[in-house]
Amino acid sequence: MKAPDGNKLAILNALNQGGFVSGQALGEKLGISRAAVSKHIKTLQEMGLDIFKVTGKGYCLNSQVGLLNKTQIDQHYKALGANTADVEVHPIIDSTNSELMRRIQAKTALESGTVIVAEMQQAGRGRRGRVWQSPFGANLYYSYFWRLDDGLQAAMGVSIAVGIAVYDAIKALYQIDVELKWPNDIYINKQKLAGVLVELDGQPQGPCQLVIGIGINLQMPESFSQHIDQAWTDLNQHTQKLDKNHLVASLTYHLEQRLVQYRQTGLQDMYEQWNSLNAFAGDYVELNTGHRSWRGICEGIDPQGGIRIRQDGEVKSYYGGEVSLRKAQV
């Protein structure tokens, strides 16, 4: 899908102010004809944006989530008692995680805490090579850069801490209790709301650099939902108070709090909370590595972040890698 050009982004920004904007006013502002405005609007609608027209009033963006705005993100972030957030806003990108990983590989100077968010991803990625559906303006595509000095082994449980940070942010803003699925999914009522993808670069014993990717469904268009191969939900189905910029600020703030805690004490003070939010607690599950699979009762995680499964009366812990956990058929 072609990226939106400057005129399309200008139209979006005008519509994002709220209310109706006439095609004539948009054309005069951009120096283009009303027919050209109509053509740009049609392209934006094809990208998944819900823009409607009322004769005599003009165009209106029907969106609960709005568009990303760095100034608004900073205002919300400062209201939480923090300094200015180091956030980059991109209209469109291949993948927020890929962009940060490229900078790491190119040895570009990066400050720990750098955030990249985008309105749309053209090559969004989930775990195990899956595609993350990323329509324009509909969901949150977010990546956070973090440097950890204790080696790759110390990063093993980071996705657990990140899941709790997502819980913190959503609970604080919307009073919604999400559930967590090992190792890195966020559910509401057994339906997937969000996913985490942590990628690492570094040496086993030396400093390592982490890219923490978080994708949250906010207002998923029906035209894209048909490509999702599991039960899903979005925040728009559970709250009417969505504000994408407020969510970016809250997520960044709570992620930073949890990463500080993780650096100091690992999962020692978090794993029991994670277990209280375990989406599969007590369920009969199947753990699959692609080469082997195990079935048993899900007993939550251990203090190192491994999943504990009870098989024939014995509980064993299993750790990361290319694994999937799902509810098993009895």
Residues 178-236: pLDDT tens digits?
999 998 899 999 899 999 999 999 877 788 999 999 999 998 776 665 666 678 899 99
Q: What is the CATH number of the domain that holds 55?
A: 1.10.10.10
User: Is residue 198 domain-shared with residue 248, that is, in the same domain?
Assistant: yes
- 181 and 116, same structural domain? yes
80-98 pLDDT tens trace: 998 888 999 998 888 999 9
292 carries an active-site annotation: no
- Whether 119 contacts 91, CB under 8 Å: yes
Task: Identify whether residues 27 and 128 lie together within a single domain.
Answer: no
Which residue among 2, 78, 190, 326 is the active-site one?
A: 326
Do 189 and 252 reside in the same domain of the chain?
yes
Do 175 and 207 belong together in one domain? yes
Out of 8, 125, 127, 258, pick the active-site residue: 127
Residues 255 and 153 in one domain: yes
- Catalytic residue selected from 8, 125, 192, 244: 192
Mean pLDDT in residue range 171-179: 96
The pTM for the full model equals: 0.85
Clarify whether residues 47 and 82 are in a common domain.
no
Active site residue 316: no
Place of tokens 């750098």: 114
Inter-helix orientation angle 34-46/23-30, to 10°: 100
In the chain, % of residues over pLDDT 90: 58
Look at residue 1 and tell me if it is in a domain.
no
**Domain count of the fold of the chain:** 3
- Give the least confident one: 59-73, 91-105, 129-143, 263-277: 129-143
113 and 80 together in one domain: yes
Which range of residues forms the domain containing residue 27? 6-61
Q: Is 107 a catalytic residue?
A: no
Q: What is the CATH number of the domain that holds 293?
A: 2.30.30.100
Is 133 in the same domain as 104?
A: yes
Q: 148 - beta bridge partners?
A: 208
